[in-house]
Amino acid sequence: MMLFLFNLNNMVFYTESDWRGVMNHIFKLAFIFIVNIIFLINASATTMDKVKFVEANGIKIHYVEEGEGPPLLLIHGGGLTAKSWQGLAKEASRYFRVIMPDSRGHGLTNNPQGTFSYDLMTEDMAAFVKALKLEKPLVIGYSDGGMVVLKLTSRYPDLARAAIVGGATHRFATTHYMQGMEIFYGKGMPQGQLTDRDLDKMASDAPGMVKFYQNMHHPEQKDYWRTFLKGVWPMWTTPTSLTEEEVKKIHIPVLLLDGDRDEFFTVEEVTQLYRLLPQAEMTLIPGSGHAIFQTPGKTPLFYALVLEFLQRQLPKAS
């Protein structure tokens, strides 16, 4: 295995011997990785510790927290829930107070108006941080959560201490992105609104995805998956982006962590974001697709890289 650490000033390849320390950490995380995969498959039947709710931005946000220490906010990807972070949380909670909310309309968090937008979800997270009185949290966002983190740290430059953005760039719904949507949801899905016929086709073409949504999001409502996808699909498939000026407002340290075979975002697109950010690091994991922390053989490395970056952001002991 070789890790490709990409920096525009110099390009360095790290062999296994160079990464012996990281690999030792990976073996410790192997069991956590297996549990994480099982957990995702059986998410509806699993309960995490300290399940809570808080009112923020007009909705009732369901969240889970583990551990004690500096606050670490984990914002999941589209269609996932707080439970998708369980593997990372188990390890990170040794050092941090890990807080994992379900995003608007996801998991057990409600969405009374049925509307979704990245701007709205950004305000949800800003209100969530305020409601919990989190002081300078470290923030991680994956996929949709990555876009939210970019918007959050641009709009509120002093909110977070540092951030990790995985599986995301500052531009969504590009041509490559829509090709990725076809891989996950089947061909022929429209951009914009979904009809019942579209959803019937999706249930036929991607039954595993539909079953996953039925189990993960408000499982007490049999057809909520239809409501969910009709609501979220326009957000997922309508081109959106941060301007260069908005990106340059993000002055905190940011790690961009992506797979070099991401089905939604190209290496070139991630590199463009890297060039715009004032304090950025960029790491590409060879052979990994969009689901970095769910890809067999890649998840433990993802966790190790995340923890190494986070620990570097903590104040040095005097």
> How many CB atoms within 10 Å of residue 308?
13
In the chain, where the domains are located: 3-183+244-312
Q: How far, in Å, CA of 74 to CA of 90, rounded? A: 13
The answer to whether residues 298 and 259 touch, using CB atoms and an 8 Å cutoff, is yes
**Secondary structure of residue 292 in the 3-state scheme:** helix
pLDDT at 187: 85
Which residue numbers in the chain have pLDDT < 50?
1-47
Predicted TM-score (pTM) of the model is 0.84
pLDDT digits (tens, 9 = 90+) for 280-314: 999 999 889 998 887 788 888 988 999 999 999 99
pLDDT at 50: 65
The answer to whether residues 63 and 52 touch, using CB atoms and an 8 Å cutoff, is yes
The answer to whether residues 262 and 184 touch, using CB atoms and an 8 Å cutoff, is no
pLDDT at 228: 95
Question: Which CATH architecture describes the domain 3-183+244-312?
Answer: 3-Layer(aba) Sandwich (3.40)
The answer to whether residues 289 and 167 touch, using CB atoms and an 8 Å cutoff, is no
Report the sign of the C-alpha dihedral through residues 250, 166, 82, 147, in that order.
positive
> How many CB atoms within 10 Å of residue 236?
22
**Secondary structure of residue 190 in the 3-state scheme:** coil
pLDDT at 239: 86
pLDDT at 3: 37
